[in-house]
Amino acid sequence: MKKNQNILSLVLLTSSLTLSPLFASSINPQARSQSNSLSNNIANNLYSRGIDRDASKKIAKRIFDKDDGATDVMLRNLQNNYTTISKQEIVNFLSTEALLSKSVDLSSYDYLVSMVYKIKNKPLSDKSLKELNSIAKKNYFYSQNL
């Protein structure tokens, strides 16, 4: 009985070590497609506003091609830590910024405050300002390390 347990344990260990690289490589393309999905959301938003599909894809790529995954990480940080605005509101705002060829700097406290103010059209509370300050600091760190 003990010998069977050892053999079973050895088989499980070997299979997990063998399959781990396969699972890791299958996860990486999913992460890449998530960063593309934000660009696609912006392109679709622009398309729904009446812009040609190819032109909307080019406009959306202009925002995100500069720093690859850093923008995606910073947006996720914003979405996860500042729940007052929805993902759709952020996509709408970024679509307008892309359409107007404005630069997007999610690591800037001033930019985040301006973005949230423009989305909500009301002054921000001290708590909101502190949250945005923390998010900007983290985003700056992400932008430097990615």
As a whole number, mean pLDDT of residues 92-106 equals 91
**pLDDT tens-digit series, residues 13-31:** 566 656 555 454 444 444 4
Distance CA 51, CA 47 (A): 5
**pLDDT tens-digit series, residues 61-72:** 887 666 557 788
Rounded alpha-carbon distances, angstroms, from residue 44 to 37, 49, 52: 10, 9, 10
pTM of the predicted model as reported, rounded to 2 decimal places = 0.70
Distance CA 90, CA 109 (A): 16
pLDDT, position 12: 55
Residue of 67, 42, 37, 69 lying closest to 55 (CA atoms): 42
Residue of 6, 98, 119 lying closest to 43 (CA atoms): 98
